[in-house]
Amino acid sequence: MSRVIAIANQKGGVGKTTTAVNLAACLAVAEKNTLLIDMDPQANATSGFGVQAAEAEQSNVYHALLGHKTADAVIRKTDIAYLSLVPSHINLTGAEVEMVNMIAREQKLDGLLPDLTEQFEYIVVDCPPSLGLLTINALTASDCVLIPIQCEYYALEGLGKLLNTIRLIQRHLNSRLEIAGVLLTMYDGRLNLSRQVATEVKSYFGNKVFKTAITRNVRLAEAPSFGQPIVLYDILSPGAQNYMSLAGEVIGHG
């Protein structure tokens, strides 16, 4: 059976897509058959693998959610063995509006997964930076949620809303959903602020905080502009080492 992991935080700029792309890539490097589903209309995870908007326009997650295509029909291979991608596109913005009047609109992604769980050991879902219908679909379909938190001011602001949404989904839509862990991103051990935020997050979440923290890293920031995850762009960089370590923790928790 596969494990479905949503990467969610409604706050933008916390390293969510970076984590989705690089965790999926590192799971694949560990020879785990992995699928990355890009549920964000901004499609940054899609371009993070070098897939341009024009290439994804006719075949992406939007078509699968609305039943225009099967899930298998929108999957594409990546340059990494063991890793496949369901791309996103700006047309996904319209899906939330189109899904509003549909029956079981929160369970459209969940309905696609039975066809995929036989093929993949891990399915990583990149959520949009909001708590709208697309994120709710992702959480309803997932076994667990990984929450990236950046080591900056107001890191925990808005987290109450996300945790409340998770509780509501556990109660009404997906009783198996659990928090896989909280991931500290943009960490710089030289800064008091980073250390303070790390302490605050650990006191709040306890052993749910991953041992691995993602440090600030120029190579990690550059990689998306080359359409590559960090393990292809610079496998010796600290960013690549961080995400390989995170993948090890995720596999260990599995």
Provide the phi-psi class of 209: left if phi over 0, else alpha when psi is between -120 and 50, else beta.
beta
pLDDT, position 254: 62
Give a three-class secondary structure readout of 213-233: CCECCHHHHHHHHHCCCHHHH
CATH number at residue 239: 3.40.50.300
- Going by C-alpha positions, the residue among 116, 42, 121 that lies closest to residue 73 is 116
- Going by C-alpha positions, the residue among 166, 182, 124 that lies closest to residue 4 is 124
Low-confidence ranges of the chain (pLDDT < 70): 254
Q: What is the pLDDT of residues 4-61, one digit of tens each?
A: 999 999 988 899 999 999 999 999 999 999 999 999 999 999 999 999 988 998 999 9
Predicted TM-score of the model (pTM) = 0.95
pLDDT, position 96: 82
**Which range marks the domain in which residue 174 is found?**
3-253
Domains of the chain: total:
1
Cβ neighbors of 165 (< 8 A, separation 6 or more) are 131, 135, 136, 139
